[in-house]
Structure 1
């Protein structure tokens, strides 16, 4: 689901969350794994830096989850597509998660965030019912619904030393709060040779994140030289305005409008803490997303994922896919 302003901003993005385990320190005599982030993490002295890193992954190096839940709306200038597609119409719910961990390049102070994310488009009236197909109200054809399934979403490397600092944090009531607003512009016409019906072949979107951590959690999980275990209890507000998603087969150049995503996320300590209905869907159809990648590699977003998996990395075009799959 981001292009990180650079590494740090976007890694905040994709937005999603940690866990409920207490912040007990990891034992110093634990078996040494050269990819664990703890030895690097515990050198950070800036509290905001410690908070930021704990949204990228667990300092103990284990998998954590940002559970994502929200809705998707039509954003149509001048309500120009009414009555077929009304401005403000709720098109889908979205339910899913990002599973992530911190990975250290052995013998360095370089960290990566390694993750995968799977988010399903679900019934507007029933968030737990995954939508398999969608009727395009403009051309009246029905298309298969492709979930957000990005394998992988990796950020880094970023250098983590005692001078590492995090974003500015404000105090709102009893919570520490920070924000990441990310304008995304990617020329798919140039990078992929596929325009997806986008204006000038350019994907232009806005990603907006707000992070909330209770000050009691902050106090328990920050401090010089410590490596907290478990995942930090974090809440995230997320909004995105972006073009029609590829499976909708709506050309931005011909059908004026966009999508607005509005969701919230919360941290979980592991894949096992996700609700049974969602795990059942993943295990039946997307088992890869039960865990994080083993090492750094190329990243996907919703559009490059569609290009790689649905278009066969350019073996067919978006227009041909729509023509073949609409009925």
Structure 2
């Protein structure tokens, strides 16, 4: 398989890609030139079939990877204690990535198209979405900006009968595979905004474990185009700089964040829990559906740049000065 990457929280390298090709304006889940099924049906490799079914449903409809976990302070030498101690749980995170497979019309090229919305929630109550956070280093309170990446895409990648997937491992009654990805991008150079990052460079480590029950593997790797979403579990960990809304300059405040989360597949947006859907529908209704065609991708930093900084109309430093209150 060509360079295995997973979108947004589930594909950290793809978030920095910018793509744009002609496409249709509506989902094509019931057949038509962008339906992925005919291309998927040409795949013969078991691992390729499994990995493609984590990219999206082969029947072309939306699926969801629900994300749930926690975020911890990772502080070398416990240098910020007692204001913030190493290993302190700062947030829970609750949200999802909604995605689908898209075929470039009249080709064997596929995209994974997705959006993701993940809320920072109370460390003692995962269902209480945080609206503000008090920075223990400067004592100021800042608005909490959720992870809200639109779009998050991967592709295009060609699908042929020789398309191969990642190495698989058998662990008890599950088939598993991994993807460990170092991420580095110079935001100072690409955006003209350094976000307080050392050298203006975003550097992180993303680590994923995928697992599928052997009965599900057997049911979904035969010939043809399976319907629905494959039952998949993911373990995800990320070490990365302080989130932009925290207004902590990595170059000045020693430390990083460690994210540790679980993710599991759902067949559609309607299967997301009511409390989470209510938050999305009240404040982020765009995230009820996957994109209908490719476009430029975002990550937490480029999304913050686009939405909070007005694509450079203000700086991160000025945003922190304006938004923080004593």
The interval holding the TM-score normalised by the smaller chain is: over 0.9
Structure 1 counterpart of 2:239: 241
Is the 8 Å Cα contact of residues 184 and 203 (structure 2) preserved in structure 1?
Answer: yes
Structure 2 counterpart of 1:232: 230
Q: How far, CA to CA, are the matches of 1:322 and 1:83 in structure 2?
A: 23
Structure 2 counterpart of 1:86: 85
Q: How far, CA to CA, are the matches of 1:47 and 1:14 in structure 2?
A: 25
How big is the shift at 1:14?
A: 3.3
1:93-108 alignment to 2 at 5 Å? 93-108=92-107
How big is the shift at 1:32?
A: 3.5
Structure 2 counterpart of 1:11: 6
Deviations 1:54-87 (A, max 9, x none): 0000000000000000000000000010000000
Q: How far, CA to CA, are the matches of 2:51 and 2:3 in structure 1?
A: 9
Structure 2 counterpart of 1:188: 187
Normalising by structure 1, what TM-score? 0.92
Q: Cα–Cα, structure 1 residues 252 and 7, in superposed 2: closer, same or farther, change >3 Å?
A: farther
Structure 1 counterpart of 2:209: 210
Aligned partner of residue 216 in structure 1, secondary structure: helix
Structure 1 counterpart of 2:283: 285
Is the 8 Å Cα contact of residues 8 and 152 (structure 2) preserved in structure 1?
Answer: no
Structure 1 counterpart of 2:138: 139
Aligned partner of residue 178 in structure 1, secondary structure: strand
How big is the shift at 1:135?
A: 0.3
Alignment partner of 1:295 out of 276, 293, 296: 293
Say how many residue pairs are matched: 308
Deviations 1:10-66 (A, max 9, x none): 2266329xxxxxxxxxxxxx9631101000000000000000000000000000000
Structure 2 counterpart of 1:119: 118
How big is the shift at 1:277?
A: 0.2
Over aligned residue pairs, what C-alpha RMSD do you find? 1.3
Q: How far, CA to CA, are the matches of 2:134 and 2:4 in structure 1?
A: 36
Structure 2 counterpart of 1:166: 165
Q: Cα–Cα, structure 1 residues 13 and 325, in superposed 2: closer, same or farther, change >3 Å?
A: closer
Is the 8 Å Cα contact of residues 67 and 98 (structure 1) preserved in structure 2?
Answer: yes
Q: How far, CA to CA, are the matches of 1:277 and 1:138 in structure 2?
A: 32
Q: How far, CA to CA, are the matches of 1:70 and 1:145 in structure 2?
A: 17
Q: Cα–Cα, structure 1 residues 264 and 103, in superposed 2: closer, same or farther, change >3 Å?
A: same
Deviations 1:151-182 (A, max 9, x none): 00011000011010000000000000000001
Q: Is residue 255 of structure 1 aligned with residue 253 of structure 2? A: yes
Aligned partner of residue 54 in structure 2, secondary structure: helix
Q: How far, CA to CA, are the matches of 1:140 and 1:243 in structure 2?
A: 19
